[in-house]
Amino acid sequence: MSCNQICALVNGSVCMNLCVLDLNPRGYYLVEHGQIWQLCHQDLSNPVAEIETTDHHTLERLSLLIAK
């Protein structure tokens, strides 16, 4: 998963400067916390983004990208 794909899905294509962190694309994962899913990365201590459980489209696309 590229940083551009993440920004497109969770931030309306607005850059979150994830590319400068040079993170391993395979390090992303989702964690459920009640009504929110957090997109996390194994090298970061805080989530990259939070997605509401009602946003099925974004969660489905993220799940597919993470699985690649």
Residue 34 sits in which domain range?
3-67
Q: Read off the pLDDT of residues 18-36 as tens digits, 9 standing for 90 and up.
A: 888 888 888 999 999 999 9
pTM of the model: 0.86
**Residue 35 near residue 44 (C-beta atoms within 8 A):** no
Give the pLDDT band (50/70/90) at residue 50.
Answer: very high
| Number of structural domains in the chain | 1
Q: Is the pLDDT of residue 37 over 90?
A: yes
Q: How would you classify the pairing of strands 36-41 and 28-33?
A: antiparallel
What is the reported pLDDT for 59? 95
Q: Which two tokens stand for residue 42?
A: 């194994």
